[in-house]
């Protein structure tokens, strides 16, 4: 039997330790094609490059292992990996490991998760992995066995059409991981402000800054799972319809 | 009674005719603050600017009417409008009118809709307006009465927490609009490829190109509504959890 073809990307860029760790874990599971951004693309969400053309740079081209950097976003990387490198759909797309959590509403800002949602749009099984630690030198060593187990399950069972997985790991904190929790996306907000500064020409410029505020007391959320030292898996979908709001809107007078 | 405060943005940029038309319609409904990108930001989705600082440029500052261009993405514009210009939450956020449809899966790529989803994250009523016509000189003249009616309804009734509206207009085609349909997000894919070219230094570069393929025969979709000359309204939510997949994942052996 031929090995599964696995497409790997991330949003922290081709040199990020989280990606390098993910590649090492996935080497055991299949033939790899890595297409990752040539610079950090955090916070790029589902952006695609349409105003400028894209470049790809070959880093490795061996049997069972191809690696490329790309000038675009994580979603561009997935599209290029499929259409230009593989010229076919991979059996699995994995993205990450992100340096920083993509739980709760962070899924909407995340380039890591956008790459995976792009897979869901074409019914390619896809998993995003993120660690609740923003540090460049974060310790990913506790993630490997879970990445392997989750990926093997997805390769075996597939995923429902239009869905993908958002997997978040607790940061390495000395306590052993208690297990895996299938969870829902928790409710939270970013309490944000802008740091206003003046440049040498006395013109204002602004830096976005903010604090993540969990607003959800539920024990079935991704946030709860991570806080309690579980790996969280949120099944995530591309249908954004608020089906529960349709009846209300139908009662409005237009 | 004081007039509602309305924050307006788009993703085609501050000079786009769709935005100028939306501003004229909204002038009747409230006090306006416009913060829009200083260049086109189509396909930027929910991207936020975190690697570079942001700039704002004041264009108008009159009683009841303030207008600014911003160096960032549509989501940056919403955040700056709230935190730096209004220093409070607006009563309503509107975005558009986009030159091009944001029905179906386009909602996931759209900067116009990301601005609106950003509102939903903070429970600010928000509506995205898009026209099924990509032309810069598109005719928006049939949209005004519907924009007014939908906006007045939202100002009166509010929206459910964590939801916003994705409104799409048929292109002006000679037939009168039949009315408004509350719809679900239709299933579709982009059938894409890359146009591979060589630069003068013989290096490859790639342009993304693609065709939208509707995959949904339902008569309750946004695509159906627009094709049949209705204005479609899809209530759109920030909870991406595929709740129907939770039970399946819980049956897996990890």
The CA distance from A118 to A163, in Å, is 10
Residue B162 has pLDDT above 90, yes or no: yes
pLDDT digits (tens, 9 = 90+) for A134-147: 999 999 999 999 99
Give the model's pLDDT for residue B144: 97
In which band, very low, low, confident or very high, does the pLDDT at A246 lie, cut at 50, 70 and 90? very high
In which band, very low, low, confident or very high, does the pLDDT at A150 lie, cut at 50, 70 and 90? very high
In chain B, residues with a C-beta closer than 8 Å to the C-beta of A187 are 162
- What percent of chain A has a predicted confidence (pLDDT) above 70? 100
Residue A208 in any domain: the answer is no
Residue B93 has pLDDT above 90, yes or no: yes
Give the model's pLDDT for residue A85: 96
Contact B236 A235 (CB under 8 A): no
**Number of domains forming the structure of chain A:** 1
Domain span holding position A228: 5-185+218-250
Q: Please compute the mean of the pLDDT values over residues B148-177 and round it to a whole number.
A: 97
In which band, very low, low, confident or very high, does the pLDDT at B50 lie, cut at 50, 70 and 90? confident
The CA distance from A49 to A77, in Å, is 10
Residue A200 in any domain: the answer is no
CB B179 within 8 Å of CB B231: yes
Residue B135 in any domain: the answer is yes
Residue B120 has pLDDT above 70, yes or no: yes
Residue A157 in any domain: the answer is yes
ipTM of the complex: 0.94
Residue B229 has pLDDT above 90, yes or no: yes
CA-based nearest distance B173→chain A, Å? 22
In which band, very low, low, confident or very high, does the pLDDT at B2 lie, cut at 50, 70 and 90? confident
Please report the residues numbered 109 through 168 in chain A whose beta carbons come closer than 8 angstroms to any beta carbon of chain B.
Answer: 109, 114, 117, 121-122, 146, 149-150, 153, 157, 159-160, 162-163, 165-166
Contacts (Cβ under 8 Å, ≥6 apart) of A73: A11, A37, A41, A44, A47, A48, A49, A111, A114
Residue B1 has pLDDT above 70, yes or no: no
Residue B70 in any domain: the answer is yes
Task: Please report which residue ranges of chain A form alpha helices under DSSP H.
Answer: 17-26, 74-80, 111-121, 144-157, 222-227, 246-250
The CA distance from A185 to A188, in Å, is 9
Residue A98 in any domain: the answer is yes
What's the pTM value of the predicted model, to 2 decimals? 0.95
Residue B173 has pLDDT above 70, yes or no: yes
**What is the 3-class SS of B2-43, one letter each residue?**
CCCEEEEECCCCCCCHHHHHHHHHHCCCCEEEEEEECCCCCC
In which band, very low, low, confident or very high, does the pLDDT at B46 lie, cut at 50, 70 and 90? confident
**Maximum distance among all alpha carbons in chain A?**
66
CB A166 within 8 Å of CB A238: no
In which band, very low, low, confident or very high, does the pLDDT at B205 lie, cut at 50, 70 and 90? very high
Residue A201 in any domain: the answer is no
Indicate which CATH number applies to the domain containing B18: 3.40.1210.10
CB count within 10 Å of CB A244 equals 11
Q: Please compute the mean of the pLDDT values over residues A83-96 and round it to a whole number.
A: 97
Q: Please compute the mean of the pLDDT values over residues A207-222 and round it to a whole number.
A: 94
Residue B129 has pLDDT above 70, yes or no: yes
Residue B254 in any domain: the answer is no
Adjacent-strand bridge partners of A99: A131
Tell me the pLDDT of chain B averaged across its residues: 95
- What percent of chain A has a predicted confidence (pLDDT) above 90? 93
Which DSSP state fits A50?
A: -
Picking from B109, B153, B235, the nearest residue to A254 by CB comes out as B153
The CA distance from B186 to B217, in Å, is 9
**What is the 3-class SS of chain B, one letter each residue?**
CCCCEEEEECCCCCCCHHHHHHHHHHCCCCEEEEEEECCCCCCCCCCCCCCCCECEEEEEEECCEEEEEECCCHHHHHHHHHHHHHCCCCCEEEEEEEECCCCHHHHHCCHHHHHHHHHHHCCCCEEEEEECCCCCCCCCCCCHHHHHHHHHHHHHHCCCCCEEEEEEECCCCCCCCCEEEECECCCEEEEEEEEEEECCCCCEEEEEEEEEEECCCCCCEHHHHHHCCEEEEEEEECCCECHHHHHHHHCCCC
Residue A229 has pLDDT above 80, yes or no: yes
In which band, very low, low, confident or very high, does the pLDDT at A1 lie, cut at 50, 70 and 90? low
Taking alpha carbons only, the member of B249, B222, B73 closest to residue A181 is B249
- Chain B contact for A227, CB < 8 A? no
Give the model's pLDDT for residue B86: 96
Please report the residues numbered 173 through 212 in chain B whose beta carbons come closer than 8 angstroms to any beta carbon of chain A.
Answer: 179-180, 182, 184-185, 187, 189-190, 192-194, 196-197, 203-208
The CA distance from B77 to B35, in Å, is 5
Contact B197 A53 (CB under 8 A): yes
């Amino acid at each position: 039997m031929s090995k599964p073809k696995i497409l790997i990307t991330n949003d922290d860029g081709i040199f990020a330790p989280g990606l390098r760790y993910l590649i090492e874990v996935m080497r055991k599971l299949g033939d790899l094609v890595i297409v990752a951004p040539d610079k950090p693309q955090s916070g790029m969400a589902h952006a695609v490059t349409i105003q400028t053309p894209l470049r790809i740079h070959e880093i490795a081209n061996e049997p069972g292992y191809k690696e490329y950097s790309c000038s675009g976003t994580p979603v561009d990387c997935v599209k290029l990996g499929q259409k230009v490198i593989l010229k076919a759909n991979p059996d699995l797309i994995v993205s990450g490991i992100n340096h920083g959590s993509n739980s709760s509403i962070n899924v909407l800002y995340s380039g890591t998760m956008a790459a995976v949602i792009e897979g869901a749009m074409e019914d390619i099984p896809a998993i995003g992995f993120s660690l609740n630690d923003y540090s460049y030198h974060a310790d990913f060593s506790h993630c490997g066995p879970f990445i392997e187990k989750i990926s093997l399950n997805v390769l075996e069972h597939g995923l429902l059409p239009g869905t993908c997985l958002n997997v978040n790991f607790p940061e390495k904190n000395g306590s052993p991981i208690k297990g895996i929790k299938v969870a829902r996306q928790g409710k939270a907000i970013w309490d944000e402000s802008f740091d206003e500064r003046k440049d040498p020409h006395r013109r204002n410029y602004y830096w976005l800054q903010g604090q993540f505020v969990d607003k959800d007391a539920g024990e079935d959320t991704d946030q709860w799972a991570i806080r309690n030292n579980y790996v969280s898996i949120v099944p995530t979908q591309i249908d954004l319809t608020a089906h529960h709001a349709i009846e209300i809107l139908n009662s409005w007078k237009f």
